[in-house]
A and B are shown apart, each in its own frame.
Chain A
Amino acid sequence: MTETQVNVRYMVGEVQAAVDWYTGHLGFEVQLNAAPAFASVQRGPLRLLLSGKAASAGRPMPDGRQPEPGGWNRFQVVVEDIEAEVARLRGEGVSFRNPIVSGPGGSQILAEDPSGNLVEIFQPAAAFSR
C-alpha cells in the first residue's frame, strides 16, 4: 500500500536505540530491523526510516558533508490532550527541548529522540477541532 504511506527519513546515531524509543514511547511498530545500519518503523500512515551511518543514506555527500541527526525539521504527532501526553512522556523519561508553546494554530512541544532528532507533539487550537 505504498500509495497511502508517507515516508520520512531520519538520520540516527544508533539505530537500535531509535527503534526502542519510537516503539516504546510513540506507538510505532517495527516494520524492518536491519540494525545497526537501518530500520523502518510504522505508525498509522507514517513510515519512519531510521538510517545510521552505515546505510546508503548515511554516505557522505560529494563535497564531503556527512549526514547527521538533528536540525529542526520534524514530523508531527497530533494529540487531543497535549498536557496529558507530555506528562505521560516525561514520566517515561522522554526529554523535551522546550515547554509547551501556543500559537494561532494550536499548542506544540518538541520531544527529542536519543539522537537529538525532534518529534513535534501538537494539539490543534479549538477552532480546528471537531
Chain B
Amino acid sequence: MKRTAAIALGLTLLSAAQGARAQAPNDRFDKPADLGVARMRYMVNDIQGSVAFYTDKLGFKLVTQSGPFFAFLTRGDVQLLLSPVKGPGGASQPMPNGERPAPGGWNRIVLYVPDLDAAVAALREQGVHFRNDIVHGLGGNEILLEDPSGNPIELFQPG
C-alpha cells in the first residue's frame, strides 16, 4: 500500500525532476538557500517513529540520523529536520524560562500533490490521521494530516 500512496503523491514525477539535476544538492547540511532548497524543523516525540512515518507515508528520504536525537530528511527541495523534545541537540533545549519545545501547532510544510482526493484516500487507507476534511480555498484545495507527534503537514492541490 505504500506504493499506492507514493504514486498518489506524485513522487514518481518528483524523482524524475530530481534525476535531471546534478547530484542531489539537498543532501548538504550547510547553506540551504544557496542550494535551491529550504529547510523546516519539526519537534517530535520519537525520532525513529517519525522517520518511519515520513519515509513510508510521505516519500521523504532519510539522509542523516543521530540515533534518537536527530534526523535530516529530504523530499524534493524540502529539507526536514526532526528534533526530539529531549536530547543533546540545540533545538531540544528548554527556553530560559523553563518552557520546553513541543510538537504541534499549525505552522507547516505544504506539499503539492497532483490529485488530492487520491492522495488522501491512499493515506487514509494506511491509517494516517487528518485534522480536517478537504477545504476548498481561493488558490486550491488543501487538507491537514498529522505526523505521529501531532505535527501538521498540508497537502495542497492548486486549482
Q: Which residues of A contact B (CB under 8 A)?
A: 2-11, 43-46, 49, 55-57, 59, 61-62, 65, 67-78, 97-99, 101-108, 117, 120, 124, 128-130
Contact = CB atoms under 8 A, between A and B. Distances in A.
A117 B133 CA distance: 25
Interface of B: 17, 29-34, 36-43, 66, 70, 76-78, 81, 88-93, 95-96, 101-110, 112, 131-133, 135-139, 142, 144, 151, 154, 156, 158
A46 to B, nearest CB: 4
Given A108-B90, A124-B30, A44 B38 contact: yes
Contact of B77 (A5, A49, A98, A130): A5
Contact of B33 (A46, A72, A98): A46
Given A71-B102, A103-B91, 16 more contacts: A5-B77, A8-B109, A45-B38, A55-B137, A57-B135, A57-B154, A62-B133, A70-B105, A72-B102, A73-B41, A73-B43, A78-B30, A78-B33, A98-B93, A106-B90, A107-B90
Contacts of A76: 32, 39-41, 81
Q: Which 8 A-B pairs have the closest CB atoms?
A: A71-B105, A56-B137, A103-B90, A46-B38, A6-B38, A44-B33, A7-B110, A72-B101
A15 B42 CA distance: 23
Nearest to A48: B38
A109 B37 CA distance: 21
Given A8-B40, A78-B30, A69 B77 contact: no
A56 B138 contact: yes
A84 B102 CA distance: 28
9 contacts: A2-B112, A8-B108, A57-B135, A70-B105, A75-B39, A98-B95, A104-B70, A120-B91, A128-B29
A103 B89 contact: yes
